[in-house]
Chain A
Amino acid sequence: MTTLSDPPSQSFQFSKLINDTRYRSYTFQFIALLCVIALMSYLGWNLVQNLRAAGLNISYGFLGSPAGYDINQRLIEYDSQSTHWRAAMVGVLNTLLVAFLGCITATVIGVFVGVLRLSKNWLVRKIMSLYVEIFRNVPVLIWILVIMAIFIAVLPQPRDFRGDDATASMLGGLFAFTGRGFYLPRPYFTAEWAAGGAGWLVVIGVLIASFFGSRKLSAWASKTQEATGVRPTTWYLTLGIWFVPLLIVLLAQGLHWEIPALAGFNFQGGIFARNSLIALWFALSIYTAAFIAENVRAGILAISKGQTEAAASLGLRPNRIMNLVILPQALRVIIPPLISQYLNLTKNSSLAIAVGYMDLTGTLGGITLNQTGRAIECVLLLMLFYLTISLAISAIMNAYNNAVKLKER
């Protein structure tokens, strides 16, 4: 029987590991680690057993063998003799293409709707709420399939453009919107030295130079404003910096447009965007726009009315209030959820497989997986790709949040 006067025994007791708060957390962590290692090795052991039973092994060699299937929408050269790796790259670029296009249009529509939901006009406000609620509360997969069905049903087929009594005609003789997809004019360069991609690299270089030029110009305008109190008028200079070099480069390289034309039962030439791409892009845009509209509305409402009134009492005009006081504060609220919506859009673009758009899920996770039977490798690569994109976007978001967060001292 121990009494209170007994000194605590210094010797190690097993029960200390669980009862002494100094050691308990180590015990728990050790147990947790053991459990995770046990689970992993159990799964790994099963994997080895199953692979041996099926006569398989983990190998990425299949990526180098010919894919043997066609991809009808692609940004880089590809044919059925190309490798599976090349097919996966086509898929990656297709995913990035639809995600990029979708983010832009979703932002535009979302901001527009979000602002209109705060409009004074009752009817407009109600219509916009209806749009937001309907699109937010129905699965995106259903919207993708519905919009695909609408495209096929409503738009004319290429054969409707034929003959003297054609029921459909090209918009301005340049664009053809058909149920199979959109045919758009394709710009190309005739100059010898601009063949291949070189011409476009020059154009991108010029645009980057123009961007820095206009930054420099506005810095100079701000400096003059601080020195003299008057901001020099620069809008025509900005326009000039953006457009004059671009025009010169385009003309010097011999810009021509290849216009799609009806040949036989289909259009030839120009850029062809398949209906699956257009439907997916459109569906993802309007679905995500409904969420973005809510974020924009919340962001604007989050700025208290006192801010507007304080700015007005300083004598600022309404558009200056918007630009200098409301927007910078609202953007801090809007942008983090906006970026996570971009992330959602990118992840939702994997639903492309439902309409047959060949994104990464369709190539690597679809046909390649089924042809080669390399399920583990394909799904692993697929996850790795999406994980990389997600982590990259999260990193950008964290950097932005740190840059704009309230600097409290």
Chain B
Amino acid sequence: MTEKASLAFVRDTMLPEQPPPASETGIIKWVRANLFPDVLNSILTIVALYLIIKIVVGAWPWFANGMWATSSLAECREILQGTTGACFSVLTERWNQLLFGFTYPNDQYWRPILAFVLLAFAAAPMLFAMFLPRKLLLFTALYPFIAFWLIWGGTVLTPLFALLGFVAAATVFPRVEKASGFASALGAAVVTAAIVWYVGGLIAGTTPNLIALEPVPSRDMGGFMLNFILGTVCVSLSLPLGILLALGRQSNMPIIKWICVVFIEFIRGVPLITLLFVANVVLAYFLPPGTNFDLILRVIIMITMFSSAYIAEVIRGGLAALPKGQYEAADSLGLDYAQAMRLIIMPQALKISIPGIVNVAVGLFKDTTLVSVISMFDLVGMIRGPILASTEWNGVYWELWGFAILLFFPVCYGISQYSQWLERQLATDHR
């Protein structure tokens, strides 16, 4: 009391909280910190804003005046009367050619579309393995056969016997392995599958119309569908090949190691386009006289070789990143090479290399456009060839290329965002 009395004034209640100054909160603070922190950045912001506004203002009438229902560029120009405006009618008129190529039968479009939709269901159990039950992987395993039947058509027996061959091999393999080891089991499985395929081929050959879809030869595939088919088929085929090559390169058997090294370095050293030239003009010389391989099949072989070399390098990185203790632990448990790889090494190495594999997959999907150079009619080939060369649409560049970019960008961007997400999911080191 005395102390208080001796002082002139002592505050005994808290002041009410004041709001922070306007320049330090909310949007104003954000704008100041992120757009105008200093002179140089302010100039940059203003220049960037100016450019954005200029582009938007310049491009807007082009979109807004777009024509969607004309039948040729000349008609577009006639209606527009010299004002700027897009001629999107090329897309409404030719969308089927852009997506499916110009010889795929029109009434069968539901088949590739259905295959595409099913692809989402088949890929989901693999891509989001941590959220979905493992049983769904069964559908993923069945998908290649369903997709083949849907896209190429023909009797259902062909994919069915192909599947049966794999099933027979998978049932024979563990039994023989228990009795006499990995190598002979592998041999027995291959022989069983070959027998089933041979018998199946004979049966399917005699009854080509049993539950058959209209067969479509592969030279009729085109448009974005062709890019998609090439991308998915080649990536899926090159994964097992890439794993084998990576294991071969890491092996301590010098001859096998050098075979793999030479193959990988050779493929990685040449551009894909030279390999496509090989598929187009050279490969026929190396096949038995009289065989007439489909061009699409030759291209699939070469692209698969190409991507398997890149995937092998990614997986080799994953193998090298595993601590040596993992290999030694597997050895000390008495596992043989095949068991150690299947049960200990590969699950971990593949987990590390998933982001890299996804990057290779995106790159490969983009590279499938190169087939247009050897005159196949994929999306780019369709645009450059039949559409831009036609009298109606000669000169429509922006709309077509914009459409191509719109098709490729979401797919590639989506996959790369997925790989980044997965990388975060799989990061088990807590940083």
Contact = CB atoms under 8 A, between A and B. Distances in A.
Interface of A: 18-19, 25, 28-29, 32-33, 36, 43, 46-47, 49-51, 53, 119-124, 127, 133-134, 136-142, 145-146, 149, 153, 347-348, 350-351, 353-354, 361, 365, 369, 375-376, 379, 382-383, 386-387, 390-391
B373 A351 contact: yes
Nearest to A137: B412
B281 interface: yes
Nearest to B410: A137
B189 to A, nearest CB: 17
Contacts of B41: 119-121, 124
A390 B268 contact: yes
Residue of A127, A139, A351, A375 with highest tally of chain B CB at under 10 A: A139
B199 interface: no
A46 B273 contact: no
Contacts of B373: 141, 351, 353-354
A348 B369 CA distance: 12
Given A124-B41, A379-B281, 10 more contacts: A19-B181, A47-B286, A120-B34, A124-B44, A138-B404, A146-B401, A361-B274, A375-B285, A382-B274, A386-B271
B289 A53 contact: yes
A28 B35 CA distance: 65
B312 to A, nearest CB: 16
Contacts of B274: 350, 361, 365, 379, 382-383, 386
Contacts of B82: none
A382 B35 contact: no
Contacts of B284: 50
Nearest to A374: B281
Interface stretch (B67-75, B136-144, B250-258, B422-430): B250-258
A391 B33 CA distance: 48
Contacts of B181: 18-19
Contacts of B183: 18
B49 A123 contact: yes
State the 6 A-B residue pairs at the shortest beta-carbon distance, nearest first. A390-B269, A122-B34, A137-B412, A347-B271, A139-B366, A375-B281
A350 B270 CA distance: 10
- Identify whether the interface residues of B are mostly helix, strand, loop, or mixed: helix
A142 B253 contact: no
B408 A138 contact: yes
B286 A46 contact: yes
B209 interface: no
A387 B266 contact: yes
Interface residues on B, range: 35 or more
A119 B43 CA distance: 14
Contact of A149 (B254, B369, B397, B405): B397
Interface in B402-425: 404-405, 408-409, 412-413, 416
Contacts of B259: 32, 36
B44 A29 contact: no
- Identify whether the interface residues of A are mostly helix, strand, loop, or mixed: helix
B286 A123 contact: no
A137 B366 CA distance: 8
Interface in B271-306: 271-274, 277-278, 281-282, 284-289
A139 B367 contact: yes
A121 B35 CA distance: 5
A318 to B, nearest CB: 14
Contacts of A382: 270, 274, 277
Contacts of B362: 137
A136 to B, nearest CB: 8
Contacts of A28: 253, 256
Nearest to A361: B273
Contacts of B103: none
A139 B254 contact: no
Contacts of B285: 46-47, 50-51, 375-376
A121 B42 CA distance: 9
Contact of A139 (B256, B281, B282, B380): B380
B269 A32 contact: no
Contacts of A25: 252-253
A253 B420 CA distance: 59
A145 B370 CA distance: 12
Contacts of B254: 29
Nearest to A116: B44
17 contacts: A29-B256, A32-B255, A46-B286, A49-B289, A121-B45, A123-B45, A137-B409, A139-B408, A141-B372, A141-B380, A350-B273, A353-B373, A354-B372, A354-B384, A361-B274, A382-B277, A386-B270
Contact of B369 (A122, A141, A365): A141
A138 to B, nearest CB: 5
Nearest to A352: B273
A270 B151 CA distance: 56
A145 B384 contact: yes
Residue of A133, A142, A348, A353 with highest tally of chain B CB at under 10 A: A142
Given A140-B366, A142-B405, A121 B380 contact: no
A19 B182 CA distance: 11
B48 interface: yes
Interface string B333-376: 00000000000000000000000000000100011011011000
A133 B410 CA distance: 10
A134 B259 CA distance: 39
A145 B48 contact: no
B217 interface: no
A32 B34 contact: no
Given A138-B405, A361-B274, A121 B286 contact: no
Given A386-B270, A390-B269, A145 B277 contact: no
B37 interface: yes
B256 A32 contact: yes
Contacts of B372: 141, 354
A375 B37 CA distance: 62
A46 B45 CA distance: 66
A136 B366 CA distance: 10
Contacts of A134: 405, 409
A323 to B, nearest CB: 20
